[in-house]
Structure formats: C-alpha cells, structure tokens
Chain A
Amino acid sequence: EIVLTQSPGSLSLSPGERATLSCRASQSVTSNYLAWYQQKPGQAPRLLIYGASSRATGIPDRFSGSGSGTDFTLTISRLEPEDFAVYYCQQYGRSPWPFGQGTRVEIK
C-alpha cells in the first residue's frame, strides 16, 4: 500500500509569489499516475493535474506538475488571490488510491 506524504503542511505566501508543493510516495507510482487537486472551503475538490504533469481542461498555465517515481511537485508560478486553498495529491496507479494529507496555501 502506497502512502503519500505532502510537504509543507502549510505555506504562507503573498500574491504574485511562487508556490512549490511536494508529494512524496512510499513506493514508486505506477505510470506516474499522480493527480493534484485544489479544494476551497465548502467546495468539492477540483482536478488540476493528472498523469503527474498534464493540466486538466480549463486549468491556467501558472499551474504545473512535475516529477516521477516517488517524488512529485506542484508549482504555482505566480499566486493569484483565488489560488489560496488546500491542495491534495492522489496516486491512482495501483490500488488502493490514497490521498496525501494536504498542503494549505495561505495569504501572508
């Protein structure tokens, strides 16, 4: 069973800054089937990235995903006010399909 560990737990940044979020897997993720989601209060999660680096439909290009094997990164190049939220990773290459514990991106 793969365990996903996200770091940091929270990130305090200003609009316009760059955010770098990490997701580390306890075992290699099959075919890099790693997704990133954004969740705002009272809303369902929204898919940002799938397959480690492919942006979902309608996702701005300031969001990018990278990595392979056990180490993955979500980068937000320039934070917009609407980007302050909680971000989760999930692997879906081998069952079970756990989520990481989340990273909260807060306004500084």
Chain B
Amino acid sequence: QVQLQESGPGLVKPSETLSLTCTVSGASITSYYWNWIRQPPGKGLEWIGYIHYTGTTSYNPSLKSRVTMSVDTSKNQFSLKLSSVTAADTAVYYCASTVQYWGQGTLVTVSS
C-alpha cells in the first residue's frame, strides 16, 4: 500500500521560505514523477511542479522563479522549497505521485 506523508512547519512568516518534505512508503522513489500541488482555502487545485529521481524537474511557470524541488533516494523522500512567500501562498499543500497516490495534505499559513 503506497502512502505519502507531508511534513513541515504549519506557519511561515512573509518573505521567508516555505519548506516541506514528503515521505513515500510502499513504493520506490525511483518510480513515478513526484508532484507538489496546493489548494488555497475555498479554491481549486494548483499544480506546483514535479521531480523525477534523476533530478529532472518541471515547475509551474507562474511559480518557477520561487520554487526548488529536490529528491533524497536514500530516504525515499522529496522536498519543496518556495521562497519569498506572501499571504497568497497560504494553502493546503499536497504531495502526490503521477496522478495515482496523494498525501493527506498539510495546511501552511503565511502570517507574521
């Protein structure tokens, strides 16, 4: 059974960097492309980007200048960094495989 679990701070100050990690169990990180998706309160889903275990990445053009993704194959984890955050970055952040498997999501609030 494949499970994904997001972890990281639930509160980030404006202008700082949001950092989240997704731990994958039940599947190898060498399978699939690994995605980050977010959902602001009451709004739709926004794809942030993906990373492959080889290091290949693709980011949403609207966020590309602020996003960095990385993967740690030894820990079966992948990570997201989003810099210079503002209140508009407040959202539930999900990690997911290519379409199939999703984490439960973690709410990140940007506030001083």
Contact = CB atoms under 8 A, between A and B. Distances in A.
Q: How large is the interface on B (under 10, 10 to 19, 20 to 34, 35 or more residues)?
A: 20 to 34
Contacts of B104: 44
Contacts of B88: none
A18 B39 CA distance: 28
A96 B58 CA distance: 7
Interface in B34-67: 35, 37, 44-47, 49-50, 58-61
Interface residues of A, number: 21
Tell me what chain A mostly uses at the interface: helix, strand, loop, or mixed. Answer: loop
A50 interface: yes
A95 interface: yes
B64 to A, nearest CB: 9
Given A44-B105, A102-B45, A96 B99 contact: no
Contact of B44 (A50, A97, A101): A101
B100 A56 contact: yes
Interface string A42-54: 0011110010000
Nearest to A34: B99
B4 to A, nearest CB: 9
14 contacts: A44-B94, A44-B104, A44-B105, A45-B102, A47-B102, A88-B45, A90-B47, A95-B58, A96-B60, A98-B60, A99-B44, A99-B45, A99-B47, A102-B45
Interface of A: 1, 35, 37, 39, 44-47, 50, 56, 88, 90, 92, 95-102
Interface of B: 35, 37, 44-47, 49-50, 58-61, 94, 98-100, 102-105
